[in-house]
Amino acid sequence: MFSQRCALVSAGMLLGCALTPGAGRADEPKPTPENTIHIQLAAPVPPQKFVKAPKFFISEVIDRSGNPQPMLVLRERGGVFLDRQPTEIAREAIEQSLKSAGLLAADAASADLVLQVYVFHFGLAQGSGLDFFGKVEFSVMVKNVKTEESQQIQAAGTSIANAAMRKKNIQKNVQANIEGALEDAVKNLVRGTQLKEAVASLMKDSPSAPPAASNGDMAVVIGDRQGQWQQGGGKR
Q: What DSSP designation does 109 have?
A: G
188 is a domain residue: yes
71 is a domain residue: yes
C-alpha–C-alpha distance, residues 236 and 220, integer Å: 16
Are the C-beta atoms of 111 and 202 separated by less than 8 Å? no
- Residue 176, exposed/middle/buried by CB under 10 A (0-12, 13-18, 19+)? middle
Secondary structure (DSSP) of 173-214: HHHHHHHHHHHHHHHHHHSSHHHHHHHHHHTTTSPPPPPPPP
pLDDT at 167: 79
C-alpha–C-alpha distance, residues 101 and 144, integer Å: 20
**Residue 178's CATH number:** 3.40.50.10610
Average pLDDT, the chain: 81
126 is a domain residue: yes
pTM: predicted TM-score of the whole model, two decimal places: 0.76
* Mean pLDDT across 89-102: 98
Q: How confident is the model at residue 223 (pLDDT cuts 50, 70, 90)?
A: very low
**Is the model more confident about 166 or about 50?**
50
Q: What DSSP designation does 13 have?
A: H
134 is a domain residue: yes
What residues make up the domain containing 69? 25-210
Q: Residue 219, Cα to own-chain centre: how many angstroms?
A: 47
**Is the model more confident about 166 or about 112?**
112
Tens-digit pLDDT profile for residues 179-221: 999 999 999 999 999 999 999 999 986 654 444 444 444 333 3
Tens-digit pLDDT profile for residues 26-43: 578 999 999 999 999 999
Q: Which of 11-20, 54-63, 104-113, 130-139 has the lowest mean pLDDT?
A: 11-20
**137: helix, coil or strand?**
strand
147 is a domain residue: yes
What is the total count of domains within the chain? Answer: 1
Q: What percent of the chain has pLDDT over 70?
A: 73
C-alpha–C-alpha distance, residues 171 and 169, integer Å: 5
8 is a domain residue: no
177 is a domain residue: yes
Are the C-beta atoms of 81 and 73 separated by less than 8 Å? yes
Tens-digit pLDDT profile for residues 169-182: 889 989 999 999 99
C-alpha–C-alpha distance, residues 230 and 236, integer Å: 7
Q: How confident is the model at residue 77 (pLDDT cuts 50, 70, 90)?
A: confident
- Beta partners for residue 154, in sequence order: 139
pLDDT at 166: 81
160 is a domain residue: yes
Q: What DSSP element (H or E) covers 155?
A: strand 150-162
